[in-house]
């Protein structure tokens, strides 16, 4: 590698204020909390990753394809999504390296973003990468990260403990039986705590493809009929209580439209019936999603 290859050096105060007086104070505050345990209230880690504790596959599968912030920025800079392996499952080595090369060769598009901060911190502080990502350094970095991932200390449970994670909240569909969480909780060899989070998104957008199948699955898991809007609400309440009883302490929603004005009269039942029949319009779907999401108050505060 050429001696002109830019080094990847992270300044320890890179997120602190520029003003010297404020920086001194910020550094003092940061130093007092940096080693405290992590309580993560929101994340998208598959709980089976913790249960199975299998080695991560390759750098692309870890850093690129599952991260929509990374793939969106690369796609916006002209990279086709299929070149990044999005929604393709496990990639062969050539495809994985090609996607990784796209990331490294377009490193400048991440400048000034939290994504770049995360990636640089991970590469330098966890995988000991000392050169800045670029087209010429792509394979070098890929090989180094790949070699680290093969080591026992880079398996999921080892990293969980290395990072000082005390509680990790996952993101789970209401129809999930949470059996994986139960197995993790019963494993005395794992000292961490992994809790589910109630995420009902695919059951709320009534005009979205697959919604009818999702609601049928909701009925099967709850044992409550979802033929009417009232039944749907009861089924959701049943599943939410199930989650609460199995350790969940929060919900996590994401909608196409964030409006939350309730529908009046029988409009909710009418739109719901149209959705079940497959005749609902997109505009009606947004109204019903807003009503669905406003059905529940904030989750009662509990100790995580």
pLDDT at 113 over 50: yes
Nearest CA to 168 among 256, 44, 28? 44
* Sign of the dihedral defined by the CA atoms of residues 45, 50, 196, 166, in that order: negative
pLDDT tens digits along 181-214 = 999 999 999 999 999 999 998 998 888 889 999 9
CATH number of 55-151: 1.10.2020.10
pLDDT at 117 over 80: yes
- The enclosing H or E element of 33 equals helix 20-33
Q: Average pLDDT for residues 20-42, to the nearest whole number? A: 94
pLDDT at 289 over 90: no
Give the pLDDT band of residue 1 (cuts 50, 70, 90): very low
Collapsing DSSP to helix, strand or coil, 193 comes out as: strand
pLDDT at 71 over 70: yes
Find how far residue 289's CA is from the centre of its chain: 22
Other beta carbons within 10 angstroms of residue 195's beta carbon come to: 23
Q: Please indicate whether the domains covering 55-151 and 165-293 agree at the CATH topology level.
A: no
pLDDT, residue 287, reads 63
pLDDT, residue 280, reads 81
pLDDT, residue 265, reads 63
Note whether 64 and 123 are within 8 A (CB).
no
Domain boundaries, the chain: 55-151, 165-293
Collapsing DSSP to helix, strand or coil, 100 comes out as: helix
Best CATH choice for the domain 165-293 from the list 3.40.50.720, 3.20.20.140, 3.30.1240.10, 3.40.50.1100: 3.20.20.140
């Amino acid at each position: 590698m050429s001696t002109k290859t830019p080094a990847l050096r992270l300044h320890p105060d890179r997120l602190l204020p520029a003003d010297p007086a404020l920086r001194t104070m910020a550094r003092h505050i940061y130093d007092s909390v940096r080693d405290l345990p992590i309580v993560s209230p929101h994340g998208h880690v598959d709980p089976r990753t913790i249960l199975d504790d299998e080695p991560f596959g390759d750098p692309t599968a870890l850093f690129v394809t599952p991260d929509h912030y990374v793939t969106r920025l690369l796609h916006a800079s002209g990279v086709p999504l299929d070149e990044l392996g999005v929604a393709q499952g496990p990639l062969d080595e050539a495809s994985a390296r090609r996607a990784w090369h796209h990331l490294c060769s377009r490193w400048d598009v991440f400048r000034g973003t939290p994504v770049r901060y995360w990636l640089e911190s991970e590469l330098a502080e966890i995988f000991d990468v000392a050169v800045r990502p670029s087209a010429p350094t792509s394979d070098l970095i890929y090989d180094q990260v790949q070699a680290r991932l093969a080591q026992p200390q880079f398996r999921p449970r080892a990293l969980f403990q290395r990072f000082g994670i005390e509680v990790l909240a996952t993101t789970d569909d209401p129809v999930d039986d949470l059996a994986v969480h139960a197995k993790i909780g019963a494993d005395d060899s794992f000292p961490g705590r992994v809790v589910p989070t109630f995420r009902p998104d695919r059951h709320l957008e009534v005009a979205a493809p697959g919604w009818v199948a999702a609601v049928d699955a909701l009925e099967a898991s709850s044992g409550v009929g979802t033929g009417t809007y009232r039944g749907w609400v009861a089924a959701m309440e049943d599943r939410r209580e199930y989650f609460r009883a199995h350790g969940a302490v929060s919900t996590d929603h994401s909608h196409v439209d964030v409006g939350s004005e309730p529908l009046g009269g029988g409009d909710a039942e009418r739109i719901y019936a149209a959705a079940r029949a497959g005749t609902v319009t997109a505009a009606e779907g947004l109204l019903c999603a807003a009503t669905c999401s406003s059905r529940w108050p904030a989750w009662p505060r509990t100790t995580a």
